[in-house]
Amino acid sequence: MEKSKSGITISLCMIVKNEERVLGRCLDSICDLVDEIIIVDTGSDDRTKEIGAKYTDRIYDFSWTGDFSDARNFSFSKAECDYIYTADADEVIDEENREKFRMLKESLLPEVEIVQMYYGNQLSMGSVYNYDKELRPKLFKRLRTFQWIDPVHETVRLLPVVFDSDIVITHLPEKNHGGRDLEIFGRITEKGEALSGRLVNMYAKELLISGGEKELEKAEEYFTRIADGEDTAPENLKEALCVVVRAARVRGDFLKMYRYAMKDIASEGVSEICCELGEYYLGQKEYQEAAIWFYNAAYETHSILNIHSSGDLPLMGLARCYEAMGMEEQAKEYQKAADDWRMP
């Protein structure tokens, strides 16, 4: 591919499946900013490939292996430009950020190996991510040049040079993908395979945000082992406790729920555990005790997995408690606080 006279060249690499409703919208917002478009289809049975063909002839079929990394790596292997930009079909770039993208393309320094961009609208559709806007790596240098660093005891620089841009990518999902992700996590753990600390965190988030009774039951044993493990990292311990306490409460095993909840409360408690105790006491019609735990969740602790557990969820719990106790004014105040918390 002939390099442009100024700036870098960019390959857009996407993996898709049944995205006929949103793919055109995504490509319309990015197609003129990139130099080639590579679409890897993992088994669409709708018009996805037909729509993609309006923008590129670089469309490849890839047999789904159950591993997104396999598909991503395959798409990267087809790229030929200086940099690779990754996009999901439910993303769009508005005109203001398209101009920022264009300027970045013209001025990016060659030593930059990864460009991070803000991923926006993350709290829609019960996203597993707890912040409405967060930086994500989106643009990757295709071929990396290794360099020696340090004036003495020299070594090869292993960490990439990362640039944090102010470009915002808007995420517009049409549905929650939690069920799909939880199914993949379940298959991995059923095989006895260990998850990295990062994936333990993601699995726990998915379970607390969008997991149902079936998914919690399936995951409980795995997270119980993590919670009981002598070598478990402190952050993964708290995450595991949140899942175990939720799963045990939902099953009605209140002894186990309370035992594992106290492991967290004995240290610095988290909002997720406080919410679970609030729900338990509310179910037992012990409204004053439930209100204490919901208050702790909203005002005395912080969330580690689901931001709602320190926001609207305990505030609604407090409203339910005071309504049950016949204290209508307090109930209305907490319901209003919950509604205000949810407002953008």
What CATH number corresponds to the domain at position 263?
Answer: 1.25.40.10
What pLDDT does residue 175 have?
66
Give the confidence band of 3 by pLDDT, cuts at 50, 70, 90: very low
Exposed (0-12), middle (13-18) or buried (19+): which is 326, by Cβ within 10 Å? exposed
DSSP classification of residue 270: B
Residues spanned by the domain of 97? 10-171
Residue 320 domain-assigned?
Answer: yes
pLDDT tens digits, one per residue of 48-74: 999 999 999 999 999 998 888 999 999
Look over the chain and give the mean of its residue pLDDT values, rounded to a whole number. Answer: 90
In a shared domain, residues 165 and 182: no
Cβ contacts of residue 177 below 8 Å, gap of 6+? none
pLDDT tens digits, one per residue of 238-269: 999 999 999 999 999 999 999 999 999 888 89
In a shared domain, residues 167 and 183: no
What pLDDT does residue 67 have?
86
**Domain boundary, last residue among 106, 140, 171:** 171
In a shared domain, residues 260 and 331: yes
Residue 64 domain-assigned?
Answer: yes
In a shared domain, residues 156 and 249: no
What pLDDT does residue 124 have?
55
Give the confidence band of 39 by pLDDT, cuts at 50, 70, 90: very high
Residue 5 domain-assigned?
Answer: no
CATH number at residue 100: 3.90.550.10
In a shared domain, residues 126 and 260: no
Residues 283, 138: Cα–Cα separation, whole Å: 45
What pLDDT does residue 154 have?
66
Residue 1 domain-assigned?
Answer: no
What pLDDT does residue 187 have?
84
Least confident piece of the model among 3-7, 108-112, 191-195, 271-275? 3-7
In a shared domain, residues 187 and 164: no
In a shared domain, residues 183 and 328: yes
**Domain boundary, last residue among 149, 171, 193:** 171
Residue 4 domain-assigned?
Answer: no
What pLDDT does residue 62 have?
96
DSSP classification of residue 85: E
In a shared domain, residues 315 and 217: yes
In a shared domain, residues 209 and 164: no
pLDDT tens digits, one per residue of 63-105: 998 888 999 999 999 999 999 999 999 999 999 999 999 999 9
Top-confidence residue, 328 or 122: 328
In a shared domain, residues 210 and 319: yes
Model pTM score? 0.69
Residue type, 131: Y
Exposed (0-12), middle (13-18) or buried (19+): which is 157, by Cβ within 10 Å? middle
Which long-range contacts link 67-75 to residues 24+ away (Cβ below 8 Å)?
A: 67/184, 68/15, 71/15, 71/40, 71/42, 72/13, 72/15, 74/40, 75/13, 75/14, 75/15, 75/38, 75/40
- Mean pLDDT in residue range 19-37: 97
Residue 279 domain-assigned?
Answer: yes
pLDDT tens digits, one per residue of 282-330: 999 999 999 999 999 999 999 999 999 999 999 999 999 999 999 999 9
Residue 239 domain-assigned?
Answer: yes
Residue 106 domain-assigned?
Answer: yes
**Domain boundary, last residue among 101, 136, 171:** 171
Least confident piece of the model among 78-92, 169-183, 188-202, 281-295? 169-183
Q: What is the number of domains present in the chain? A: 2
In a shared domain, residues 156 and 103: yes
DSSP classification of residue 110: T
Top-confidence residue, 287 or 149: 287
